[in-house]
Structure 1
Amino acid sequence: MSTVNWTAWRRQAEPRAEGLRERKKRLMRQRLSDTATEMFLERGFDAVRVSEIAQACGVSEKTVFNYFPTKESLILDLGESTMAALRAALARPDRASVEAVLGILSDELSAMTSWIAAQEDSVQAAAMIQRFGALTRSTPSLRAYHRDMTDRLVVAASEVLAQRIGMGPDDPEPQIAATALLGLWPIQFQSLRKYLDGKRTPAQVHTAVTADVRRAAELISTGLASFAGLKPTSRP
């Protein structure tokens, strides 16, 4: 089964030196995710069994679950890499938290628009991404998985932000700051839905989406600018 390299436009962790074993594992993971994504888009998420994905890739169902803990993670598979990028970016004391998150979002957007530009038919490529988003939004289990992933990202962000100012992650300030920062992701997704219309070039999509995300970031940047100056408060 020939598949599109779907993971190429979903931001990956920074490449590192790898041996033959690690490379084989990475390629198998990519093959499983790409194959699953293509089958889900063609037939619907609920209509495809994990055993069918395994058969298409020539492996056992157990092997699939060795790489992906759930069926949902086969298609929404980059939560851990996003979390690693978020932790690293927010931990830098020399960088404002809003700019740190904007940097991650820009990397993700660039990966997607560069992928579209590299395809033979950029209009079809944009339509594929629209279908990917529609599948996620229309499938209850995928929506629930995505919400859970977002909740975990908020927790991770609040932990790092709390450390920066000497508070606990359950204090209200790091919690609301983390929630606001993670709220920029839905803005980017919604803007992509709006601008991936087959009429704009990948570069135009990138510019338009970036402008929307930065407009949203401006609303929260004033409040978060004071975050670094907060002092730990004694608990009642």
Structure 2
Amino acid sequence: MSEGLRERKKQQTRRRIRDVATALFVERGFEHVTIAEVAAAAEVSVNTVYNYFQTKEDLVLPPDEASPHRLADIVRRRPAGQAAVPAVLEHLRAEVRRRDRKMGLTEGFGRVLEMMRAAPTLTARLGDLGQQMTDELAAVLAEETGAAPGDPLPRMVAWHIGGFHALVYAEIGKRTAAGDSADDIAPAVLELLDVFEDLLGERLLTYAPRKDRPCSE
């Protein structure tokens, strides 16, 4: 079996396990479904489930989609000359326009959201995730700008970015719970981002422009 085919089969297995788990969690509640039941429904072993997902929570919030590195990675990857805040705004707009799964702009997400809100371990993980994203972003901004230890500016900018990032998800969640479709939600979220950008001052919008990087990066 070629490496490419093997990798595709692994991704198919991973997707099937997650889809089966999500359906069970939505039907019965996150806390009322065991890993063994997920494995049986997906027709794999318990060990196979754990090979793809280290924890039960990862089945709903996989690290590749719900990563504490998300905001820091967006900022690290911005092109030369672009400041941090515009980079995140641009990235979020692109995700909303293409109805990215990470944004929850997919059919059936409303029931998934209800399931997540009813599970204390998932809501706690989301809260921790938001704090971790902001903290890591602050560290990246401090490093890139050469901020002195104790300088509050990188943390304040990271807090603003983390705030509008969380606001986008809150807006999507609210509208999803109200029964709005992804096609109705997306324009409203884009408008929300426009309003937020209009409210920001020049200092925030121009903070931490990325410098040219060596070609070896």
Q: For the superposition of Structure 1 and Structure 2, which TM-score range results when normalised by the shorter chain?
A: 0.7 to 0.9
1:98 — aligned with what?
A: 85
Compared with structure 1, are the counterparts of its residues 139 and 222 closer, same or farther at alpha carbon in structure 2 (3 Å cutoff)? farther
For residue 207 of structure 1, report the CA deviation from its aligned partner: 0.9
Give the structure 1 partner of residue 215 of structure 2: none
Matching of residue 164 in structure 1 with residue 144 in structure 2: yes
Task: Note the alpha carbon deviations across 1:42-76, whole angstroms, 9 max, x for none.
Answer: 11000100111111112221221121121111101
Instruction: Show CA shifts across 1:158-206 (max 9, x none).
Output: 222122201268642222221221222321122223444446x643321
Picking from 121, 127, 134, the partner of 1:141 is 121
Number of corresponding residues: 201
Hey, what does 1:74 align to over in structure 2?
59
User: CA–CA distance in 2 between the matches of 1:104 and 1:85?
Assistant: 11
TM-score with structure 2 setting the length: 0.78
> Structure 1 171/80 Cα, relative in aligned 2: closer, same or farther at 3 Å?
farther
Shift of 1:24: 1.9
1:203 and 2:163 aligned = no
- Say what the alpha-carbon RMSD is for the aligned residues: 2.9
Supply the AA of the counterpart residue of 1:214: D
The match for 1:112 among 99, 112, 134 is 99
Which stretches in structure 1 are left out of the alignment for 5+ residues?
1-17, 120-124, 230-236
CA contact under 8 A between 1:191 and 1:209: conserved in structure 2? Answer: yes
Tell me how far 1:102 sits from its aligned partner. 1.6
For 1:184-223, list aligned pairs within 5 A. Answer: 184-196=164-176, 197-198=178-179, 202-223=182-203
Distance of 2:75 and 2:5 partners within structure 1: 33
Measure how far apart 1:137 and its partner are: 2.0
Q: Which residue of 1 aligns with 2:214?
A: none
Q: Percent identity?
A: 34
TM-score (norm 1): 0.72
1:148 shift after superposition: 2.0
Runs (5+) with no aligned partner, structure 2: 210-217
| Residue 39 of structure 2, aligned match among 43, 47, 54 | 54
